[in-house]
Amino acid sequence: MLRFDLISIFPEYLAPLKLSLLGKAVDKGLITINIHDLRDQTMDVHHSVDDTPYGGGAGMVMSAAPWGDAIDQISNDLDQIDLIILTPAGKKFDQAMAAEFTKCKQLIFACGRYEGIDARVGKHYENKSNFKVHEVSIGDYVLGGGEVAAMVIIEATARLLPGVLGNPESLKEESHSIISSSDDLLVEYPNYTKPAVWRGLEVPEVLLSGNHGQIAKWRKEQAERRTDQLGKE
């Protein structure tokens, strides 16, 4: 069972993790999701988790100490713990990374705020033999915090685990897993449902033909065309 731990100063921001697919996966015992408040690790009256940056500059940096204490407290005695530090300066998250994360036992997400987390936190855990540290970005833009990024990664990862999707066939023919004739990954073909005509727009005739070979061929062409188009934008 894959265990997800999230550390944040806004644990309530992560409430959607209890809903829908992920909520059901927790109920079925396929995953666990544990949310931790970083401020529980503070001793002062203001529960401060940040300080001014060494070297000067705008904003505040999250202090290493509460992060270290929080991570130590939730690290199980596993031989491998994967620590994900969310940062726009990290490696770009994609479907292949999601598939890699499904092989993990415990994934700890450090959701930063302000100007980010003191760089020594990642360094410290990199030096521990049972930790693997991943600095991950969900895209080339800057969010206010890592919570949304953590939810993106958890949802994309968890839905690849056996039993999480009602119909595992859905995983076979979807964007970033369809393979072209030249072994490239494609985005999905367009989908349609009833009625056959909506506001004067008709469903492509081939999809009504019942000819599975023709439908598969048409879908592959459409997936290739869509992927091609993305490359040109």
Contact residues: ligand SAM, CB under 6 A? 86-89, 111-113, 115-116, 137-139, 141-146, 149
Separation of alpha carbons 12 and 55, rounded Å: 33
Least distance in Å: CB of 83 to ligand SAM? 13
The identity of residue 156, as a single letter, is A
**Please, are residues 176 and 187 in contact by the beta-carbon 8 Å criterion?**
yes
Least distance in Å: CB of 146 to ligand SAM? 3
Report the residue number, 93 or 131, with the smaller CB distance to ligand SAM. Answer: 93
Least distance in Å: CB of 62 to ligand SAM? 7
The identity of residue 160, as a single letter, is L
Least distance in Å: CB of 222 to ligand SAM? 31
Report the residue number, 87 or 157, with the smaller CB distance to ligand SAM. Answer: 87
Pairing of strands 178-179, 185-186: antiparallel
Cα 147–Cα 148–Cα 150 angle in degrees, nearest 5: 65
- Three-class secondary structure of residue 160 per DSSP: coil
Q: Compute how many other C-beta atoms are within 10 angstroms of the C-beta atom of residue 63.
A: 19
Pairing of strands 131-137, 178-179: unpaired
Least distance in Å: CB of 124 to ligand SAM? 17
Tokens matching residue 88:
């726009």
Least distance in Å: CB of 31 to ligand SAM? 21
Separation of alpha carbons 10 and 151, rounded Å: 13
Least distance in Å: CB of 89 to ligand SAM? 5
C-beta nearest to ligand SAM: residue: 112
* DSSP category for residue 117: B
Residue with tokens 């030249």: 182
Report the residue number, 13 or 189, with the smaller CB distance to ligand SAM. Answer: 13
Report the residue number, 8 or 227, with the smaller CB distance to ligand SAM. Answer: 8
- Three-class secondary structure of residue 31 per DSSP: strand
Compute the Cα dihedral for 97, 192, 164, 70 and give only its sign. positive
Report the residue number, 117 or 178, with the smaller CB distance to ligand SAM. Answer: 117
Report the residue number, 144 or 163, with the smaller CB distance to ligand SAM. Answer: 144
Report the residue number, 36 or 113, with the smaller CB distance to ligand SAM. Answer: 113
